[in-house]
C-alpha cells in the first residue's frame, strides 16, 4: 500500500453500498490515494463500523445511511456531502446492486423484476440527477456492472440483464454529461464477498468459475478497486463511455 500515489488529493468521492465488499475496497483505495470519501449503506451500524476502519487508515471519511432506492436518503447523501465538503463532488461510484432471486426469467415475479430495475439501474440514474448540479469540471462517474452483464449464467440471468443495461447507460450518460464529466463502467468477475457467497462458497461452482478464468482464480475486492480508481482518476482523462472488464480473463467480448 505504501506504493499507492495520491491521484485523488483534494477530491471528494461518493461510493454507494460501501460498508463492505467491493464498495468498501473502492472507498478505501480512493481514500488512500488522498480523496475525502463519503461512504454509505442501508444500516447505521455498518456505516459506523466502516467509518471507524477507514479512519484507522487515516482516511478522511463521512458516513451517511443511504438505501439507494430511498429518494429522501439519496438526496440526504448528496446534501450532507456538499454541506460538509464545500459544495463539490469529484467522483461518484455507483456500486449498489441486488440479486434477489435465482429463478428463470420467465418465472421471475413482477415484484422481483421491479426491485432489480429499481436498485440495479434506476437508483444510479436518480442519484446522478441529484448529484449533477454539484459535479465539478473534470469529474468522473463509475458504474459497477458485472461479467454477468456480458454472459448471464442461469442463476444470474435477470440480474445479468440489469448489468447489461448499465453498459448502455454508461454510453448514454457519457454522451450527455460530456465534456465536464466522464462516465465509465467497471465489470468485475467473480469476487468472494457476501453478495457472491452463494456461488463462491460452493466448492463445485467455485472450481467451475476458477477454470473459466485464464488466471485460475477468483478476483479480490482490491483488484476491482484498483481498476475503478484508474477509471475515476485523471490517468483515464481521455476515457469515457467505456467498460473495463476485470474478470481474470473470463470470456466477455472480443
Q: Is 245 helix (H, G, I), strand (E, B) or coil?
A: strand
Residue from 14, 16, 15, 20 nearest 195 by CA? 20
Q: Is residue 23 a contact point for ligand NAP (CB under 6 A)? A: yes
User: How many alpha carbons lie under 13 Å from residue 137 in its C-beta half-sphere?
Assistant: 0
Q: Is residue 194 a contact point for ligand NAP (CB under 6 A)? A: yes
Q: Is 159 marked active-site?
A: yes
Between 197 and 235, CB nearer to ligand NAP: 197
Of 20-28, 53-61, 74-82, 130-138, the window that binds ligand NAP (rule: CB under 6 A) is: 20-28
Question: What distance in Å separates the CA atoms of residue 7 and residue 38, rounded to the nearest whole number?
Answer: 17
Q: Is residue 67 a contact point for ligand NAP (CB under 6 A)? A: yes
- Distance in Å, CB of 242 to ligand NAP, minimum: 17
Q: Residues 8, 12, 14, CA angle at the centre, nearest 5°?
A: 110
Torsion of CA 7, 247, 38, 35, to 10 degrees: -10
Kindly tell me which residue out of 78, 96, 135, 174 binds ligand NAP, with binding defined by CB under 6 A.
96
> Are 41 and 51 a contacting pair, CB within 8 Å?
no
Q: Is residue 231 a contact point for ligand NAP (CB under 6 A)? A: no
Between 115 and 136, CB nearer to ligand NAP: 115
Positions that interact with ligand NAP (CB under 6 A): 16-17, 19-23, 41-43, 46, 66-69, 95-97, 119, 144, 146, 188, 190-191, 193-196
Amino acid at each position: 500500500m505504501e506504493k499507492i500515489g495520491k491521484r485523488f488529493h483534494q477530491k471528494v468521492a461518493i461510493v454507494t453500498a460501501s460498508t463492505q465488499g467491493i464498495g468498501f475496497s473502492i472507498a478505501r483505495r480512493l481514500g488512500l490515494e488522498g480523496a475525502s470519501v463519503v461512504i454509505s449503506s442501508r444500516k447505521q451500524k455498518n456505516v459506523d463500523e466502516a467509518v471507524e476502519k477507514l479512519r484507522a487508515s487515516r482516511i478522511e471519511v463521512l458516513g451517511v445511511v443511504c438505501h439507494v432506492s430511498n429518494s429522501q436518503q439519496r438526496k440526504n447523501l448528496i446534501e450532507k456531502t456538499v454541506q460538509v465538503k464545500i459544495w463539490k463532488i469529484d467522483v461518484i461510484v455507483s456500486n449498489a446492486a441486488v440479486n434477489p432471486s435465482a429463478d428463470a426469467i420467465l418465472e421471475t415475479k413482477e415484484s422481483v423484476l421491479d426491485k432489480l430495475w429499481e436498485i440495479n439501474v434506476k437508483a444510479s440514474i436518480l442519484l446522478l440527477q441529484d448529484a449533477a448540479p454539484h459535479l465539478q469540471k473534470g469529474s468522473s462517474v463509475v458504474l459497477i456492472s458485472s461479467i454477468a452483464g456480458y454472459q448471464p449464467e442461469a442463476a444470474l440471468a435477470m440480474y445479468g440483464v440489469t448489468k447489461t443495461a448499465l453498459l448502455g447507460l454508461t454510453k448514454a450518460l457519457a454522451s450527455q454529461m460530456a465534456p465536464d464529466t466522464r462516465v465509465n463502467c467497471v465489470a468485475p468477475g467473480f469476487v468472494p464477498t457476501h453478495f457472491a457467497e452463494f456461488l463462491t462458497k460452493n466448492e463445485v461452482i467455485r472450481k467451475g468459475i476458477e477454470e473459466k478464468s485464464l488466471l485460475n482464480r477468483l478476483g479480490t475486492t482490491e483488484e476491482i478497486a484498483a481498476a475503478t480508481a484508474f477509471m475515476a482518476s485523471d490517468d483515464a482523462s481521455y476515457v469515457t463511455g467505456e467498460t473495463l472488464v476485470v474478470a481474470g480473463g473470463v470470456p466477455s467480448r472480443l
